[in-house]
Amino acid sequence: MTISFDVLPLIGEQMSGVGYCQAGLITELLQKHPEYNYTFDFFSFRNHQKKEERLLSYQTEQVRLNRVCFPGAFYRMIMNFIPFSYSYFFGREAEITHFFNYLVPPHVFGKTVVTVHDMVIWAFPETVRWKTKVLLKTGLKQSMKRADRIITDSYFSKQEIIKYYPRYQEKIRVVPCGVDLKRFYRITDQAEINRVKDKLKITGDYFLYVGTIEPRKNLLRLIKGYQLFCKKYPQAPQLVLAGGKGWMNQKFYAWIQKVGLEDRLCFTEYVASEDLCALYNGAVSFFFPSYYEGFGIPPLEAMACAVPVLVSFEASLPEVVGECGVYVNAYDEQSIADGIERLYTDPSLRRELSQRGQERAKEFTWEHAAEKLYLVYKELLDETKNKDT
């Protein structure tokens, strides 16, 4: 059997959450099921070598790169309007092709699987950049119609898909995201933590947020809550916000300058993968009061590093964090301030959440997730065999 993956999320300069989700699942699938053949499909109009280098860590004897020299962005832009065949570019060898980023192109050979991570396009459309909005609004319904199975990251997201696209309910399967416990774990070497702090120009104790700087992450309210907290505790740790710049953040940065918070905040921008574990480990607590998440990998990574977390009650976050975090109202700055104070002033609570969080993280491994995904593939293959006989 040959399984093909659209590896667009893996070949960009900076990996997003979708990329890390695909990387975790593919890595485990290749290890656990070497009996299959795999192809990595991707468009590449330029910089072919760099893109292939980013795929080196996944390559085994069972993996074949299937690169097509054509502008992929152009294909994705027109495919919702002109049904140009995907098989024309990538052939007809795969029994299953899996697309990890919402959209299934027209005329894919064999069975198709698509991962739809959330319904933010309908739940919070104002937080989605216009290009993504156009692609999803014009293509998502058609993609789910084309797909033989729809994978989503949480039971919350499953209900969201059913809410907006009830006719595809029978196709949906939940495959939770995971955390790589070899990458994220408790560090006892303070020198390694200090190395990363020096590299990122972080001084002293700090609270931490990890994720893209964009509207739906609720960073404006987080900082307003942090500001209220600092009025009560002037010597409190600084707040480190680690992540690449998203969109619609100009007003956000302008407000920070206006209220004079530059000295209390540290923006690291994108953090290299090898530095993330130490960055988590150095934090007093981790904050993630997002409005909307299909899963929410950063809190899970923090928990694996034994860092106590603060999250909102919203979306899938309670499903991920369980009883291992402090919960706040995402829409109330005072609630966020109270949650920060609770964590900051109660060392015994931090220790308890640290221990609970580590145990909770062990329930969400990529190994478990990949096995659930494999069962979806097997289900499709069994359907094909039964149909043929």
Mean pLDDT computed over 90-98? 95
Say what percent of the chain tops pLDDT 70.
98
Nearest to 294 by CA among 98, 109, 153: 153
Cα–Cα dist 79/84, whole Å:
6
pLDDT digits (tens, 9 = 90+) for 353-363: 999 999 999 99
DSSP state, residue 181: T
pLDDT at 247 over 60: no
pLDDT digits (tens, 9 = 90+) for 277-309: 999 999 999 999 999 999 999 999 999 999 999
Query: Checking DSSP bridges between strand 149-152 and strand 2-6, what pairing results, if any?
Result: unpaired
CA 101 to chain centre: 11
Degrees to nearest 5, angle at CA 127 with 169 and 165 = 15
Record the tokens describing residue 238, joined without a space: 């600084």
pLDDT digits (tens, 9 = 90+) for 369-389: 999 999 999 999 888 777 766
Say what percent of the chain tops pLDDT 90.
80
pLDDT at 250 over 70: no
For residue 131, the model assigns a pLDDT of: 87
Cβ partners under 8 Å of residue 153, min gap 6: 21, 115, 117, 118, 174, 175, 176, 177, 294, 295, 316
Record the tokens describing residue 141, joined without a space: 């319904």
For residue 249, the model assigns a pLDDT of: 64
For residue 380, which amino acid is it? L
pLDDT band of residue 213 (cuts 50, 70, 90) is confident
Cα–Cα dist 112/220, whole Å:
40
Select the more confidently predicted residue: 262 or 156.
Answer: 156
pLDDT band of residue 310 (cuts 50, 70, 90) is very high
Record the tokens describing residue 133, joined without a space: 């909005």
pLDDT band of residue 215 (cuts 50, 70, 90) is confident
Cα–Cα dist 173/373, whole Å:
9
Cβ partners under 8 Å of residue 210, min gap 6: 242, 243, 271, 276, 279, 280, 286, 288, 298, 301, 302
pLDDT at 112 over 70: yes
Mean pLDDT computed over 3-24? 90
Cβ partners under 8 Å of residue 179, min gap 6: 297, 300, 301, 303, 304, 361, 364, 365, 366
pLDDT band of residue 94 (cuts 50, 70, 90) is very high
For residue 126, the model assigns a pLDDT of: 85
Helix axes 333-345, 219-232, angle to 10 degrees: 50
Read off the pTM.
0.92
Are the beta carbons of 340 and 150 closer than 8 angstroms? no
pLDDT at 248 over 60: no
pLDDT digits (tens, 9 = 90+) for 129-164: 888 899 999 999 999 999 999 999 999 999 999 999
In the predicted model, what is the mean pLDDT of the chain? 93
